[in-house]
Amino acid sequence: MMRTIYKITEYGSFITGKQIEGYITLPAITFEQLENFILSNKSRETEALELMGLSAKKGLGKVITAKNYIGVLTMNDGTSIEILPKIYSRTSYSERQVKKLVIEMLKTLKDSPYKTLQTTNLDIEKLDIFEIFIRMFIDEVFFIVKRGLKSSYKTVASNENFFKGKLLFAEQIKYNYAHKERSYVAFDEFNINRPENRLIKTTLLNLYKQTASIRNKTDLKTLLNAFDNVSPSIDYSGDFAKFVLDRNMKDYATALLWCKVFLMGKSFTSFSGSEVAFALLFPMETLFESYIAVQLQKVLGTMNFQVSVQDRTYYLFTLPNKKFLMKPDIVVKRKSDKAIFVCDTKWKLLTDEKSNYGISQTDMYQMYAYQKKYNAKSITLLYPLTEQITNTNIEYNSDDGVVVRIRFIDLFDVKNSLIAIAQEFKDNN
């Protein structure tokens, strides 16, 4: 099937009914579906900021603005909306590079199928994120099929012309009183119709209907042939609950994580809405935090530092009992003298035009508390690099010795950005 794809970056906006530079125009029906989807999720608690903003502007009418979720939305009519992050670099970058970066960030998420994402053989500029994910799932299932679908024994009760297994006396008397040549028996049958295979088949069927890629569609059809003797799942939660990850089932682990993504909306935050067939959305705040933590661990691992992610050492209050757990993103300890440095990541585009560059007062209160509890040498807030700010080495000093540094990460040169920060930890005496 042909699928219309509308692409937008964070903070970009949709309108309908007119063509205006700087805005992406959606058909009226698609705009309405998207609006209804946003409204149906507006009251839901999320781990990041609002999914999308709704407003009305003079001369434009209704405006839908992407916030800090990225990913893909597929409407019931097949129309897709792909949201990519707004990323600035000192050098120019392509859509392909942005998508590759997003995939690298996704690979750092814990307990997800994204760790195995590979883009080497994909024309990712022509594929939206949804199709890339389908491709990854297909590759996992091909691996399973190549190794052989797992089978299991299932007890079957049947009236047979020959004896096997165990005779069921009550059924034998009931059904075979006049047919002594038959045996009503129970026996174990070895078959592939087990929960894990049912979930995979159901996912294959759903994706076959949704994909717009000829290659993906062809491979999905091929894989479905291998699952011909498997029934679709009618109880996703029940079948997932039956899956036990052991040595015998390790080949299925990643494929079933993908099944959770596609069947149960386990992208990171779940969304609902009758207008949307599929929603795979990720808060950039979480992706940025995870990615920077992993990359900083790599950099500091060679520099005699110990790194703790999502540290849980201290509570803000200890009496009458421990209350308000402090959980900084990254705590760095210099092994030579045990000096502590605390980092927090913030996915926010700072600018010279805003008061205090747009830094949240609440965040600064939090940093102050971290310094006091951890007795840190310094506190560093890490933001993505933006072209809207000229001073990239901002520092705030309090009269009682607290120093909060504001530093910026070039996501297309993340290693060198973090090496510079690590050097500050090394030189701070």
Whole-angstrom distance, CA of residue 14 vs CA of residue 26: 7
Q: From first to last of the 429 residues of the chain, give the pLDDT tens digit.
A: 567 889 898 889 999 999 999 899 999 988 988 888 888 776 555 443 467 888 899 889 999 999 888 888 888 777 888 898 888 766 677 888 888 888 889 888 887 777 776 665 666 666 778 888 898 899 999 999 999 898 866 666 777 777 776 776 787 777 777 777 787 777 666 678 889 999 999 999 999 988 888 989 999 999 999 999 899 999 998 999 988 888 888 889 889 988 988 887 655 455 666 677 777 888 899 899 999 999 999 999 888 898 998 888 888 888 888 899 899 999 999 988 999 999 999 999 899 999 999 999 999 999 999 999 999 998 999 999 988 888 888 999 999 889 899 999 999 999 999 999 999 998 887
Nearest residue to 202 via CA among 230, 175, 180, 179: 230
Separation between Cα atoms, residue 343 and residue 331, nearest integer Å: 6
Q: Phi/psi of residue 271, each to 5°? A: -130, 155
What is the C-alpha separation between 413 and 420, in angstroms, rounded? 11
Residue 389 CA from chain centroid, whole number: 29
Report which residue type is found at 30.
T
Q: Please, are residues 243 and 32 in contact by the beta-carbon 8 Å criterion? A: no
Q: What angle do CA 380, 384, 387 make, to 5 degrees?
A: 120
Distance CA 271, CA 261 (A): 12
Model pLDDT, residue 160? 72
Domain boundaries 301-427, corresponding CATH code:
3.40.1350
pLDDT at residue 47, as a whole number: 40
Alpha helix segments (H runs only) across 148-241: 169-176, 195-210, 214-226, 236-241
Burial (0-12, 13-18, 19+ Cβ within 10 Å), 202: buried
Provide the pLDDT for residue 49: 44
* Domain positions in the chain: 1-86+269-282, 152-191, 301-427
**CA 303 remoteness from chain centre:** 31
